[in-house]
Amino acid sequence: MTTSVPDAATLRALPKVELHCHLEGSVRPATIIDLARKNGVELAVDDPTELYEFENLTQFLDVYSVICASLRTADDFRRITYESLQDGVAAGVRYREMFFSPGFIVGADVRLTDMWAGIRAGLVDAHADLDIRCRMILDVDKGAPPASAVELVEFAAEQDRDELIGIGGDNSEHGIDHGVRLVEDPDLLRRVAEARIPLTVCPISNLLIARMVSSVSEHPFEQLRDAGVLVTINSDDPGMTGTTIVDDFVQLAEAFDYDFVTVAGIALDAIDASWAPADERRTLTERFQREIAAIATTGATP
């Protein structure tokens, strides 16, 4: 393996942990077309390639709402969970912590218990069939009434902590999402670096959805690394952006001239940033080190 920027095939083979990916935002366009028809939801387009078109965060959330409206049954959620993890495996993801957003979905047509039952079934099937482990994070809509948030948190507290490991908060994060503005506050930047508080950075999402940068080369990812912050690479909403985490690795490597050793180190850091149990993190680290060594030696997929 040379010291040049690794190619896309090498970065696809690189084992990865993904810590910021939204279930609903990872749904394949063709699947939403299919489920919308099944559930009697009228869409403005018939061509899956036209479904996920947006120019700003507001339009993105409008499309996100269409996706959520098309999901009605437990089996719908089982399907999208399984397919999302299939796509993750194809991108080299071995472990994922994935958000789901009941606040955007649960209502007259969908019960929270059905949504969660479907997601759990998708996890069970994926863990049996695929080379990946996934745990879920329940996202609370920040714009919802406090009582709704309390209801979701109470529901989360009743679930198996090995399946549902955290609570997140989400809504229109104009200009601040994924910690990118941390570089503007030197004192806070230093505190975050010293405490090894992880940032789940989503460069292509910041470019295509939030429009915070005009190119990945303008993203503060490298500034954060230089400051010693534990930064990880993530896809955020890969179905909606038509990308995978591989594209984030490729564009960052090209933008900042990262060699294979550098990107492998970033991939290993994400293990430490995860909420996986300590013994599982050790097992993942050992596996990643073996696979990384094989890629470095032969360039072949492990």
pLDDT score of 44 more than 60: yes
Domain total of the chain: 1
- Assign 180 a pLDDT band (cuts: 50, 70, 90): confident
According to the model, what pLDDT value does residue 301 have?
58
Overall average pLDDT of the 188-212 stretch = 92
Q: Is residue 1 part of a domain?
A: no
E strands, the chain, where? 16-22, 93-100, 133-141, 164-170, 199-201, 231-233
Q: Is residue 61 part of a domain?
A: yes
Overall average pLDDT of the 165-191 stretch = 83
In 3D, which of 52, 50, 30, 33 has the Cα closest to residue 42?
33
Cα 208 from chain centroid (whole Å): 15
Among 18, 158, 173, 218, the one annotated catalytic: 158
pLDDT score of 135 more than 80: yes
- Assign 123 a pLDDT band (cuts: 50, 70, 90): very high
Distance of alpha carbon 107 from alpha carbon 102, whole angstroms: 9
Q: Is residue 253 part of a domain?
A: yes
Q: Is residue 18 part of a domain?
A: yes
In 3D, which of 23, 171, 201, 158 has the Cα closest to residue 97?
23
Overall average pLDDT of the 223-248 stretch = 96
- Assign 141 a pLDDT band (cuts: 50, 70, 90): confident
Overall average pLDDT of the 74-101 stretch = 98
| Cβ–Cβ < 8 Å for 131, 150 | no
Q: Is residue 241 part of a domain?
A: yes
Q: Is residue 209 part of a domain?
A: yes
pLDDT score of 298 more than 50: yes
Long-range interactions of 284-288: CB distance < 8 A, separation 24+? 284/17, 284/94, 284/95, 287/15, 287/94, 288/15, 288/94
Q: Give the domain CATH number at 172.
A: 3.20.20.140
CA distances from 54 to 21, 26, 35, 230 (A): 19, 15, 21, 31
pLDDT score of 237 more than 70: yes
According to the model, what pLDDT value does residue 160 have?
95
According to the model, what pLDDT value does residue 1 have?
47
Overall average pLDDT of the 72-81 stretch = 97
Domain containing 232 equals 9-298
Query: How many CA atoms, within 13 angstroms, populate the side-chain half-sphere of residue 290?
Result: 6
* Residues across the chain: 302
Distance of alpha carbon 103 from alpha carbon 99, whole angstroms: 12
Q: Is residue 202 part of a domain?
A: yes
Backbone angles phi, psi at 271, to 5 degrees: -65, -45
Q: Is 158 a catalytic residue?
A: yes
Q: Is residue 4 part of a domain?
A: no
In 3D, which of 95, 75, 72, 74 has the Cα closest to residue 85?
95
- pTM for the model stands at 0.93
Distance of alpha carbon 285 from alpha carbon 270, whole angstroms: 10
Across 55-59, 169-173, 258-262, least confident range = 169-173
pLDDT score of 175 more than 60: no
Overall average pLDDT of the 205-227 stretch = 91
pLDDT score of 171 more than 80: no
- Assign 60 a pLDDT band (cuts: 50, 70, 90): confident
Overall average pLDDT of the 157-180 stretch = 82
Backbone angles phi, psi at 44, to 5 degrees: -80, -10
**pLDDT above 90: percentage of residues in the chain:** 74
Overall average pLDDT of the 226-238 stretch = 96
| Cβ–Cβ < 8 Å for 15, 94 | yes
